[in-house]
Amino acid sequence: MSDLRNVSSNPHIRAKDTTSRIMLTVVIALLLPAFFGIYNFGFRALVLILISIATCVLTEYIYEKLMKKPITIGDFSAVVTGLLLALNLPVSVPFWIPVVGGVFAILVVKMLFGGLGQNFMNPALAGRCFLLISFTSLMTNFNCDAYTGATPLASLKAGESVNVLNMILGRTAGTIGETSVIAIVLGACVLIVAGVIDLRVPGSYIASFAVFVLLFAAISGIAISPAYLSAQLAGGGLMLGAFFMATDYVTRPVTKKGQYIYGVILGFLTAIFRIFGASAEGVSYAIILGNLLVPLIERYTMPKAFGKGGERS
């Protein structure tokens, strides 16, 4: 027994990749939607992003100092959480909102469960959901100097027409990082080319969402068309969530089969929330619920250990 080795917690990174290298690549990829958000919404967006990142990094550092644990802020995971949280905020929120959300994401969701690799849900999305529940009016106010009025998805849910081209280009109301599909897809290409993600989760997520949203819209008597589907795909946090949050190594299934199932579940839940829910959006709640289902998915998709396949004849 003395020859046993300690094995670190997941995520277990293969090949030459390290956690810091992967997280830094994610940060670089996220800079594309971040820069567009700053261009689109102005200097206030930059301040919110910086506050969110600083809060997440400082929260992790202070907690580890107080608990006399190794300092892990050099792995850039707190930076990723802070950046993702900021990109999921309306630019109109008060500057204390990313502070509250960042502390909740890092302290409650990540550090109190053991740190990176032990959190059971995506910290940034958990932070956003916490803010949505606690400060609904602030988190659903998308009026700013650049845009006023409802988001495209809210207009779509109300039966109004929307400009799909403006949605693709990012000339719409929304959160800081979700408005430009082009910027998000370019950032996703960086992750794919760098080998950080593949298309199993985002591909199955987006494809299944397209099927389910058309099915549920038809059931609800909503007139469906190519323009309607395009608006649903380009609107809200679908693309940002599919490529940057649903692909989180810690909270997605490990097996390939499990990742496809996970993606389909996310597509189903997002369509349910968008068509039948009170809100026009649903990506954050869908991914959080999907995170909670990952242990069940892995229970039925993880290969059984040798000798555990069944009863002997």
- Of 188, 92, 201, the closest CA to residue 140 belongs to 92
Domain boundaries along the sequence of the chain = 19-299
DSSP state of 303: P
For the question of whether the overall pTM of this predicted structure is more than 0.95, the answer is no
Q: Domain 19-299 has what CATH class?
A: mainly alpha
Mean pLDDT, contiguous 10-residue spans, the chain (313 residues): 40 58 96 95 96 98 94 94 97 97 96 86 95 94 72 83 85 89 96 95 98 95 90 93 94 94 98 89 94 93 64 41
pLDDT at 3: 40
pLDDT at 8: 42
- Of 35, 8, 18, 32, the closest CA to residue 195 belongs to 18
DSSP state of 175: B
149: left (phi over 0), alpha (psi -120 to 50) or beta: left
HEC letters along 235-283: CCCHHHHHHHHCCCCCCCCCCHHHHHHHHHHHHHHHHHHHHHCCCCCCH
The string of pLDDT tens digits covering residues 229-284 is 999 999 889 999 999 999 998 899 999 999 999 999 999 999 999 999 888 788 99
d(CA 293, CA 262): 8
- Of 274, 293, 296, the closest CA to residue 283 belongs to 274
H helices present in 88-135, as ranges = 97-103, 123-134
For residue 24, give the H/E element and its range: helix 19-41
Half-sphere exposure of 254 (CA within 13 A, CB side): 14
The string of pLDDT tens digits covering residues 35-62 is 999 999 999 999 999 999 999 999 999 9
